[in-house]
Amino acid sequence: MMIIMQRLREHYGPWALITGASDGIGRAFAHELAAAGVHVVLVARRGDVLEALARELRTAHGVEVRVVAADLAQADGVARTVEAIADLDLGLFVAAAGYGTSGDFIGADLAVELAMIDVNCRAVAALTQPIGRKLVERGRGGLVFMSSLVAFQGAPRAANYAATKAYIQTLAEGLAIELRGTGVDVLAVAPGPVQSGFASRADMKMSVTDSPATVARGALHALGHRTTTRPGRWSKLLAWSLATLPRWGRVQVMSKVMHGMTRHQQLPREGHPWATHTLPPAP
């Protein structure tokens, strides 16, 4: 453990930027990196929650902490984040901000779905390019992207969310090759169900989950050693069970999984012509 903490400080320090740091996996990354002695910049919409976390990290680990209250769905939120790190020797970017939705895409609130694309994809690209340039110039660093188990095939009843994660997965895979030899490591983190605020916001019910700390620790252990990691026992189990299936078969399995997670919903949303229908049986 001490060797891992030393590697984090020396290769990926002295500063790390973590988006989505107020909750779940992002918050777990903040704790793990601060415990390793890495100073952190915390980004999320809820400034009061970030300030409380900053005080906690300073007291527990003696690190410096910067707080950026920003909505990454908005261009000015991305711009303020880039400005906040301009004077820092940043060595690590953890793109943990993001959210999901569930239900039939055709009946969904389009504004919410487009905002999800902005946060999950557009903001990641807009931050990765300037940060990536800084890391290449300094000759070392890391980029950590939050992919998902659903990134590797379509996921009915989470179709748009799965598509955003497919973007992240393929972005990470491509960048890993482009940045080979620069000293900059790229990692896609593809967890399964995680115990966090994600499920509540996405209106899903998850019966089995891994902890955010398990995901963060697994990712930091894998950084610099592989391009994709699936931390947590449920991620590994689900990935193994899908591995031998063709893509269409994986889509069918994910349809059944998502059906179970959204069985409580009434389909579709009020105001649409199919609003009186209930959830159809699983395929």
Active site (annotated) includes residue 161: yes
Rounded-to-integer distance, Cα 12 and Cα 110, Å: 38
Catalytic residue among 12, 99, 161, 167: 161
Backbone angles phi, psi at 22, to 5 degrees: -80, -15
How far is the CA of 16 from the CAs of 21, 144, 156, 209, 258, in angstroms? Answer: 11, 11, 35, 27, 34
β-strand pairing of 39-44 with 184-189: unpaired
Burial of 147 (0-12, 13-18, 19+ CB in 10 A): buried
Q: In what order do the strands lie in the sheet with 39-44?
A: 65-69, 39-44, 15-19, 90-95, 141-146, 184-189, 228-229
Backbone angles phi, psi at 103, to 5 degrees: 110, 175
Tell me the two tokens of residue 76.
């000015």
Q: Is 184 helix (H, G, I), strand (E, B) or coil?
A: strand
Rounded-to-integer distance, Cα 121 and Cα 167, Å: 7
**Sequence letter at residue 95:** A
CA atoms within 13 A on the CB side of 122: 16
List residues bridging with 142 in a β-sheet: 92, 185
Q: Which residue do the tokens 């909750």 mark? A: 23
Return the active site residues: 161
